[in-house]
Amino acid sequence: MKHKIKLFGIIALIAVIGFFMTACPPESEVDSTPAPTIALSLNTWTQDNLATSSSAVWYKFDVVNGTTYYVWVMEYWFNSVDVADGYADVMISAHYGSQTGTSIFAKSENGANNTTNAYPERLPTDANYWPPSNFTATQTGTVYLKVEATNGIGIKTGHFKVAVTTTNTRLQGEKDMTIGRWYQGNLPNTNSETWHTFAVESGTTYYVWVKEYWSNSVVVADGYADVVFVARYTSKTGTIAIEETNNGAFSTSTSASNPHWPASSFTSNAGDTMYLRVYPDPALPIKGIYKVAVTTTAARPSGE
């Protein structure tokens, strides 16, 4: 009898152990669960957020063997941007096939664009961003892209934008503007254009200012373009709020007798996103750099 009881006890113990082994998968199995992955469209800026310093966002996009892909980000650059912009300082990694697949590149910070274009001494070579991370696909399939906070010194939480292109040309339209601050851009040729965006509120009046080339008031060697701009509601083809103009211009020559023109302005009829197109003046198509700012008062912002 004692032997039977002992035998039943052993069988029961084995059953209990088996239950817990079935109910509780190994730790390695739990850890291998992939993070959610977001499908990424080529040639389109996508914005996301890193809520904590250990956060990561995964994307995936299809690639074709032999095609070269370029990865760009808009992020925080240490000592070059106001923390109030809310951008994180990020790095990116890419893998074939899955989040743990063959590495294409790891923890790259190339393709970055600071959120103020704060390096005028490096323009007009359009070096307000770093060259993109890029690779030529060695297989047809899916690439997984990881965006995470930088390992180095920087802001490790906040938002960012990422884009993948099949040409080595940074997409326009990522230049979100903060009201009251100057942004510098570059028009590398007379057919160039740059799109800036900013948020507006219904009933508020907005003033647009530029710093550019003025005929007979500045030497071309200054590197400034002669620009005009157009503002539209909602999209690049939306209703026009400001017709083509160069009002709000400021001569780059300190000898000009009246260097400031009145700003172009409009009163918003709705809460919306405005699209501001800046391009060389067709009447005097001079390429180069420029600066642009939007304010809610009729006073030109300082610091340009």
pLDDT digits (tens, 9 = 90+) for 159-214: 888 889 999 877 765 556 778 887 777 787 888 888 888 889 999 999 998 888 76
Sequence ranges of the domains in the chain = 37-171, 176-295
Is 142 or 11 the better-scoring residue by pLDDT? 142
- Is 2.60.120.380 the CATH classification of the domain at 176-295? yes
- CA 232 – CA 238 distance, rounded (Å): 5
The mean pLDDT of the chain is: 75
**Least confident range of 17-21, 40-44, 139-143, 162-166:** 17-21
Common-topology check for domains 37-171 and 176-295: yes
pLDDT the model gives residue 177 = 77
Q: What is the DSSP string of 166-235?
A: SSSSPPSS-EE--TT--EEEEE-STT--EEEEEEE-TT-EEEEEEEE--TTTS-GGG-B--EEEEEEESS
Cα 135–Cα 139–Cα 144 angle in degrees, nearest 5: 65
The token pair that represents 87 in the structure block: 């951008």
Q: Is the pLDDT of residue 70 over 90?
A: yes
List CB contacts of 171: < 8 A, sequence separation 6 or more: 43, 44, 45, 72, 163, 165
CATH number for the domain formed by residue range(s) 37-171 = 2.60.120.380
Q: For the segment 207-255, what is each residue's pLDDT rounded down to a tens digit?
A: 998 888 764 444 454 678 888 899 999 888 899 999 988 776 654 444 4
The candidate with the shortest Cα–Cα distance to 256, out of 300, 290, 212, 218, is 218
- CA 47 – CA 115 distance, rounded (Å): 14
Is 263 or 127 the better-scoring residue by pLDDT? 263
128: pLDDT confidence band, cut at 50, 70 and 90?
very low
81: pLDDT confidence band, cut at 50, 70 and 90?
very low
Q: For the segment 28-65, what is each residue's pLDDT rounded down to a tens digit?
A: 343 455 678 999 989 887 888 898 889 999 999 999 99
Percentage of the chain with pLDDT > 90?
28
